[in-house]
Structure 1
């Protein structure tokens, strides 16, 4: 009995020591690229679609799927549609996620008609350029946590189903948002 207790408690410890000794790190299961979390600082002159200044509170209490694009052409609009489908598919967690578009040129009225709950940052151009520089991987989809930290990046070619798998897992274990 004592031997079983020793094995039960010592085996995990020995396994961790061996993993550390041989520098073995099991592969993660995320489909996106994990970024070193860094907080977003919003340019003071950044405006929303109604021309009002954007507050840092935009990131509070919700996870954000942020699509960074330059002109929001057909591929960008396809990704916006996928983002909406992705958010709806989260079922009980739908209220924990919001969608944001950062684009210097976007058909704002058309997008607002299609996606009324989409936050669009498109003006002024200098503020958009400053904000886009904080998204270090360039155009694509980013996840921003409820504390305002950019934490994951999905390249344009990553399928929406893979993003959904990551988000479902993330929301299951996340206490924030």
Structure 2
């Protein structure tokens, strides 16, 4: 039988250590990914800028009424996402700015803009009343009352409502428009 030379022994050991290193690298990366996943960490590209409402708020039992008096159905045949604004009675200049900002965001959706409506509880400012996506709703104190943080002292929050009538997210007063646009663009890709 042939004896193993020292060079062959070194080569065999080097191959084994390479295999152990590859094994450690592969399973170490999986362990790190699992640790990050279950600790709740997410890359910034996957984070919402709006505050997720958990559990989602079911407002299907509170169907709003359009300013014209016709009922507004939460569930429709098309996949329409809604941006809901429930301003306080004293909202004036802030509401004008907010409505103009929401009109800009809606226009930036491009070909997907037909799948987004802006619901305004009460009378919207005159500056945006011609916006095709704007739906003025009659004031509904019971709907307004269930929205979390609706009477924020800092201003008027904005909510995202899914096509089935669930409030998913809340945007605090003074939120970044780019964040709302990014979150809505992600939601619009869902089928």
TM-score by length of 1: 0.74
Which residue in the other structure is 1:153 paired with? 170
Contact 1:88 1:94 in 2 (8 A): yes
Which residue in the other structure is 1:78 paired with? 97
**Number of residue pairs the alignment of both structures matches:** 164
* 1:54 is the counterpart of 2:72: yes
List runs of 5+ in structure 1 lacking aligned partners. none
CA distance in 2, matches of 1:164, 1:122: 26
Which residue in the other structure is 2:161 paired with? 144
Structure with greater Cα Rg: 2
Q: Report the CA distance shift for 1:60/1:82 in structure 2 as closer, same or farther (over 3 A).
A: same
SS, match of residue 57 in structure 2: strand
Q: Report the CA distance shift for 1:13/1:162 in structure 2 as closer, same or farther (over 3 A).
A: same
CA distance in 1, matches of 2:57, 2:78: 15
SS, match of residue 65 in structure 1: strand
* 1:162 is the counterpart of 2:179: yes
Q: CA RMSD in A?
A: 3.0
Instruction: From 101, 118, 122, give the equivalent of 2:134.
Output: 118
Can you list the C-alpha shifts for 1:130-169, whole angstroms capped at 9, x where unaligned?
0101211214110111221111111121121222232233
Q: Report the CA distance shift for 1:10/1:143 in structure 2 as closer, same or farther (over 3 A).
A: same
Q: Report the CA distance shift for 1:81/1:74 in structure 2 as closer, same or farther (over 3 A).
A: same
Q: Report the CA distance shift for 1:86/1:112 in structure 2 as closer, same or farther (over 3 A).
A: closer
CA distance in 1, matches of 2:158, 2:33: 35
TM-score by length of 2: 0.70
Contact 1:59 1:146 in 2 (8 A): no
Moved over 4 A (4+): 1-9
SS, match of residue 76 in structure 1: helix
CA distance in 1, matches of 2:70, 2:81: 22
The Cα shift of 1:13 comes to: 3.3
- In the TM superposition, what are the counterparts of 1:91-130 in structure 2 within 5 Å? 91-103=110-122, 106=123, 110=126, 113-123=129-139, 128-130=140-142
